[in-house]
Amino acid sequence: MLVQDLDRNPLACREGKQIPPVAEYVTVKPVLLLELQKSLEDVLGAKTAEFFYTAGSAWARQELRRIRGALSLEGSELAGTFCQRMGQLGWGSWRVADSGPTSLSMVVESGPIAKGYGSSDFPVCHLLCGMVASLAEAVLGGTASCTEIECAATGSSSCSFLAEVQSADEGDAWSW
């Protein structure tokens, strides 16, 4: 499938509506992102994870707004369409493993980051972790934080993420 066809794909349609075309997609091999990540790890160390997490979160937030606005999706329908979209864009096979009122558990198989990174002693899919956090915020509401629980780069069969949403009450709480 060509990149310009992604926005016309039947998977992205609902009741004749489509996600509006975007000319800003750039098709590059994952090695570009991996070299950037590894170079930043050499210079910034652990701060690199925050950088990529934030970038992934910002990108996913924008993509989720596009999907929600074009197709008027919420909840599990929004999550399902986002997962399909991620596969179309080459980010691996995404699926919701479990969800609750304040948590969202995701599994990504054949993700390009873990696959291309090579063997690692620690999880490396910070970009995807940020994306999952934004998905949890869009689906569950509130502010989410996400942790990569398992990573294929560390020897797991897939990458798994757990996003937890802080309720509005928790965010406003304070004590002496």
Per-residue pLDDT at 168 exceeds 80:
no
Task: Enter the pTM of the model.
Answer: 0.84
Residue 27: what pLDDT? 78
Domain edges within the chain:
3-172
- Dihedral of CA atoms 100, 164, 150, 89 in degrees, nearest 10, equals 90
Residue 161 reports pLDDT greater than 50: yes
Q: How far is 39 from 17, CA to CA, in rounded Å?
A: 42
Residue 4 has pLDDT above 70, yes or no: no
Residue 175 reports pLDDT greater than 80: no
For residue 110, is it left (φ>0), alpha (ψ between -120 and 50) or beta? Answer: left
State the pLDDT confidence band at 3, using cuts at 50, 70 and 90: very low
Provide the pLDDT for residue 176: 47
Residue predicted with more confidence, 17 or 160? 160
Token reading at 143: 């502010």
Is the pLDDT at 10 greater than 50? The verdict is no
Mean pLDDT of 161-173: 75
- pLDDT tens track for 23-66: 567 778 899 999 999 999 999 999 999 999 999 999 999 999 99
- If you classify domain 3-172 with CATH, what class do you get? alpha beta
Residue 126: band (very low, low, confident or very high) from pLDDT cuts 50, 70, 90: very high
Within 10 A of 163 (CB to CB), how many other CB atoms are there? 25
Q: Which of 91-100, 103-112, 164-173 has the lowest mean pLDDT?
A: 164-173
